[in-house]
Structure 1
Amino acid sequence: MTTLPLAEVKARLSAVLDELGLTHERVVITRNGRPEAVLLSLDDLESIEETIDVLATPGLRDQLDAAAAEIERGDWISAEELAQRHRGPR
């Protein structure tokens, strides 16, 4: 995690945002030497929010774990096979 003073963030905001998009590293913004805020990419925020939603939805974590176990056992079909099943016989 990078720490930058507010004055530097103001002066280099465009470059800081470019770097966030590339590195996904959070930036702690300080004011008068004290941590005041955190800047993170929109992708990272959406990922955090999605994780919170998954953890907060009863039963969803169990469904994801069950699906992962099925995949690990090889109990899955390809997208092509799924599409073919839905098209039916020709």
Structure 2
Amino acid sequence: MAYEIPVTQARAELADLINRVVYGNERVVVTRHGKPLVALVSAADLERLEQAAEPVEDQVISAVSTVGSAPSAAGERRQRFGIAAEHRGPDAS
């Protein structure tokens, strides 16, 4: 669990907070009016977070890039967003 501290107090104790993060392996959440504002994490934690996020981003990019490139079958009605619709005039039943 992260240690929470108000921004006004964090300003005065920045050096101590950095030591807690680096040497105490803690995560510090700086708050304003009781709401999380920023987090202090070690460089090693940040690297792990960035590496964990990369595969997800790559999967999304590859999935999105293949959506538009799929060939459609002849005579297939074009569907967008999973909805098939066809306009029929007032005479059609």
Bigger fraction of residues in helix: 1
Q: Distance in 2 between matches of 1:35 and 1:20?
A: 17
Any gaps of 5 or more consecutive residues in structure 2? 60-93
Q: Which amino acid in 1 is paired with 2:49?
A: I
Aligned to 2:31: 30
Partner Cα distance (2:32, 2:57) in 1: 34
Q: Structure 1 unaligned segments of length 5 or more: list them.
A: 59-90
So what's the TM-score if we normalise by structure 1? 0.54
Structure 2 counterpart SS, 1:25? coil
Shift in Å at residue 33 of structure 1? 2.3
Shift of residue 32 of structure 1?
Answer: 2.1
TM-superposed CA distance for 1:24, in Å, is: 2.5
* Residue aligning to 1:53: 54
% same residue: 29
Quick check: 1:11 aligned with 2:41? no
Aligned structure 1 segments of 4 or more residues deviating by more than 6 angstroms:
none
Give the paired residue count.
Answer: 58
The C-alpha deviation readout for 1:43-65, integer Å capped at 9, x for no partner, is 1101111122245556xxxxxxx
TM-score (norm 2): 0.52
| RMSD (Å) for aligned C-alpha atoms | 1.8
